[in-house]
Structure 1
Amino acid sequence: SSSRNYGGRRRYSLSTATQLRVNDSCVQNTSSASEGEYSCIGLLSPSSLSKLPPSVVNLTITRSNLTALHSSHLQHLTNLHRLSIRDSLLVMRNDTWGAIPEISVISLDGCWSNLPDDRHSNAPMNTRSDRPHLVLIPKVWSGMDSLRRLELSKCNVIVRDAEVGFSALPPNCKLVFTEGSLECQSSHDYLLGMVEAGRADVSKNITCFTLGDISMFNTYYTFNDKPLLDVLKLRKSMELCPSKCSCVLLGIRSMDRPLLSVNCTNAGLTRLPDRIPPLASTLVMSNNKLSNMDALFSNRHYSRLANCDFSDNFISNINGTALVSYISSRSHDIKFVLRNNNLTTFPVWELSSFYSRSHRSGKKHLPAFELSGNPWDCHNCSFSPYFKTFVYDNMFHIKDYAEVRCDNTGERIFHTDFDRQCNPPPSLLLPIDVLNIFMALVLSLLLADFAYNFYQYRTHGKLPWIVRHCKIC
């Protein structure tokens, strides 16, 4: 067929050499190798379909504006093998499509629907987004036992009853999705299994989209336009979620930076789980019984974390060398929440050296900490003054620096005078001074005695007392 534009309206003319008009909308493609191939362009009424002969094998509906397509409109086409619908407003109503016994291929290309989505509002789907959507109802194809292939192209698909979804296709039917997008729901996780089993062929170009209110958060971490198969693989990785924890995929900034949270709060854990989803970005271990976090630095499953919450545990020591080695390999920011543990000291020397090197080299991704609520030992003068300096110098990285307090006094680290506490003023007399004074007195007495004896000897010829009484002398 060819088209001409008349006053802004496009009309279609048919080449009589290759096509035979059946009615005002449908023609038979006589040049086709198959005599049963028919095309319907610009359908306005289902009556045009009812006039098609039962010999139709392949039917192509293009640019249709039918508000509803029922199986009854095609039920008389007992030989219909392939149904193709292109660039059309399509609503496949939920009725007995299995009444068309021979249909084996349904091809939907560039189709959209005005079927309302009850989960959000009663407004037509195409009025709530800048892209038209195709709403599919699994019950439509679940009764088509003869269906062997469902083809989707250039369609943005929403599947009602997503938990059933494409898994309701007959066992021998294959889904072929070559171009377009699918509304991303966790209920579609079964689709990856269909791909692995060969029951679905989903192109890598198929992307996700989401409906709902747009906010700064879900614009920054969004599923929109992310590769569908990669999103499904991310969700499949959540099978590694520890048994006492919950894992949630909230969004995706980039495929290597998903917002994937592992929450193990109040799980009674005494050590870190051996495995978590490898691309997890947030680990929440608050209110457990952890005594250390060493496994965090050596387990490869924890290599992508950006937020680590270890608050309200029993951690008393942190390996500074392992900590610096762990954060040195980061290509993104990382935050450690260590509030309300049993820390009395902190690896200030290792971290101070790391921060200094990072500032000199221009490294942008530096670790942040929350340290309040720990029993910091301010009597330890080999640690406390350096800890105060570390907190002061890195207050932009110590998020709760103003609440870091000494355990013994409750005084804020910032307000504690460690110079006075660790370097008290000297007393008036030191022990060495007392010894020197005593020795000076003894020496003075000896000199005085010598002078007296010398005077007695020269004046009276009298020898000293010790000489007179010394028998040896």
Structure 2
Amino acid sequence: MTITDGKIKRVAGEFAKHSVVSCLNLSSNGIHKFERRSLVNLFNLSFLDLSQNNLSEVPSFKMEGAVKLDISANPSLMCASVEQTLNRSDILFKNENLTACLEPAGFHWFNTTESIKVSELKRIQQLEKDCFKNCTCERYGLELIIGKPSTFSIKMNCSGVKLLSLPVPLPERTRSLDVTNNNITSLKELSDVSYQYLSYLYADNNQIMSISLLEGTKFMNNFETLSLRNNKIKTIETYLLSNIKFYRTDSTRRLNLGQNKLMCDCSTARDFKVWLLTKTEHIRDYRDIECENTNIRVINLDQNEMCQVQQDWTYHVYYVIAAEVFLLVGLITKVSYDYWVFKTAGYLPWPASKMPKLPCDWLCE
């Protein structure tokens, strides 16, 4: 049955039960709505062409059996409806490359939608099925890239699955990774190329001992949230944190380091504490960072007390160096004076004249 190039806006009623129609072409009519049961009685349906209409959702048709479906060129078609159809393995899309749907872009300040290819929906569904072992993957949001088709980013959850290291490789365009409550000891996998799109890393309650391996990674420059609460971090490299650009006008970038017990020293009190207090807007748990060797919070460290031993030792070194320089200058001056007296008067002044001769004096004579 073919009814095309008409001005049909709505399909009402339903086909009779056990209808023998197997190929139905209703393309190019401007249809925007089917009643719920219009097509459900077409048990012999094998081809359905609804292209070039104004549908916002895919109408219901027979629940089982293979069907070749063409829904291309429906500019108002919503992706939520298309995904329900994609869940059926027996549906074959005709003109898939020309088939797109609308997905809410998720902007907070105005309502907008983005056109998504059906092939992209199929890709994201396959990624969700083929996620890293024991982890779950779901779409995180739309990636809007100028000059390129819109694509989905991935949110991956691997919390509490007894991981010993960060998962590698990540699914394509993974934006968020949750690995809390595992036994991860290192962040070295962040340098892997599959982490290039990662912006959010939640790694609380692990065994991570250092953040030094973050140096030079793309993640360090691009992250929005890095949460490392309750790990085994003992030393914080202030120079590494100083390279993070925290903008005063942008408070979305977050760094969580609370419940780590550091080995505090003069550098911690003089450098890290000062840096920490200037970034409290971005490090909300700064009060929870403590010292293991002093049992006090980093923000309460007294620089004079922590650096006292080092300063006293430094000053002693300066005194020793100054004394050595003074003695050296005095010795050179005395030797020069003795030489001048000997050349002009012919004798050595005291105490040079009283010093016993040494076996090596014949070299000078």
State the secondary structure of the residue aligned to 1:387: helix
1:304 aligns with 2:197: yes
Alpha carbons 2:25, 2:49 under 8 Å: kept: yes
> Match of 1:156?
55
* Displacement of 1:262: 0.6
1:30-67 superposed Cα distances (whole Å, 9 cap, x missing partner): xxxxxxxxxxxxxxxxxxxxxxxxxxxxxxxxxxxxxx
Alpha carbons 1:263, 1:283 under 8 Å: kept: yes
1:244 aligns with 2:129: no
Q: Residue type of the partner of 1:327?
A: F
* Displacement of 1:286: 0.2
1:397-451 superposed Cα distances (whole Å, 9 cap, x missing partner): 3232233222344432122112222215869xx9x99xxxxxxxxxxxxxxxxxx
Q: Residue type of the partner of 1:144?
A: N
User: Given the superposition, is the C-alpha separation of residues 261 and 101 from structure 1 closer, same or farther in structure 2, using an over 3 Å criterion?
Assistant: closer
1:198-247 superposed Cα distances (whole Å, 9 cap, x missing partner): x421354622257xxxxx96757989333142344333333441121111
1:319 aligns with 2:218: no
Distance, in Å, in 2 between the alignment partners of 1:387 and 1:102 is: 74
Alpha carbons 2:261, 2:289 under 8 Å: kept: no
User: Given the superposition, is the C-alpha separation of residues 327 and 302 from structure 1 closer, same or farther in structure 2, using an over 3 Å criterion?
Assistant: closer
Q: Is there any run of 5+ residues in structure 1 with no aligned partner, and where?
A: 1-80, 116-134, 211-215, 434-473
> Match of 1:284?
178
User: Given the superposition, is the C-alpha separation of residues 251 and 368 from structure 1 closer, same or farther in structure 2, using an over 3 Å criterion?
Assistant: closer
Greater shift after overlay, 337-346 or 267-276? 267-276
* Displacement of 1:89: 1.9
1:267 aligns with 2:152: no
User: Given the superposition, is the C-alpha separation of residues 86 and 236 from structure 1 closer, same or farther in structure 2, using an over 3 Å criterion?
Assistant: farther
Distance, in Å, in 1 between the alignment partners of 2:143 and 2:41 is: 36
1:113 aligns with 2:38: no
Q: Residue type of the partner of 1:325?
A: T
> Match of 1:187?
84
The share of aligned pairs that are identical, in percent, is 16
| Count of matched residue positions in the alignment of Structure 1 and Structure 2 | 309
* Displacement of 1:348: 1.5
Greater shift after overlay, 239-248 or 81-90? 81-90
User: Given the superposition, is the C-alpha separation of residues 92 and 157 from structure 1 closer, same or farther in structure 2, using an over 3 Å criterion?
Assistant: farther
User: Given the superposition, is the C-alpha separation of residues 179 and 95 from structure 1 closer, same or farther in structure 2, using an over 3 Å criterion?
Assistant: same
State the secondary structure of the residue aligned to 1:153: coil
> Match of 1:17?
none
> Match of 1:40?
none
1:168-207 superposed Cα distances (whole Å, 9 cap, x missing partner): 5645x45252232433234343589966xxx421354622
> Match of 1:372?
258
Distance, in Å, in 1 between the alignment partners of 2:236 and 2:312 is: 30
Bigger Cα Rg: 1
Which of 231, 237, 244 matches 1:347? 237
Distance, in Å, in 2 between the alignment partners of 1:231 and 1:103 is: 26
* Displacement of 1:340: 0.4
Alpha carbons 1:257, 1:281 under 8 Å: kept: no
1:369-406 superposed Cα distances (whole Å, 9 cap, x missing partner): 1000001112x334453221221233333232233222
Distance, in Å, in 1 between the alignment partners of 2:14 and 2:53 is: 21
Distance, in Å, in 2 between the alignment partners of 1:311 and 1:303 is: 21
- TM-score of the pair, normalised by structure 1: 0.55
Q: Is there any run of 5+ residues in structure 2 with no aligned partner, and where?
A: 321-365
Distance, in Å, in 2 between the alignment partners of 1:223 and 1:189 is: 24
- TM-score of the pair, normalised by structure 2: 0.69
Distance, in Å, in 2 between the alignment partners of 1:181 and 1:166 is: 23
Greater shift after overlay, 338-347 or 179-188? 179-188
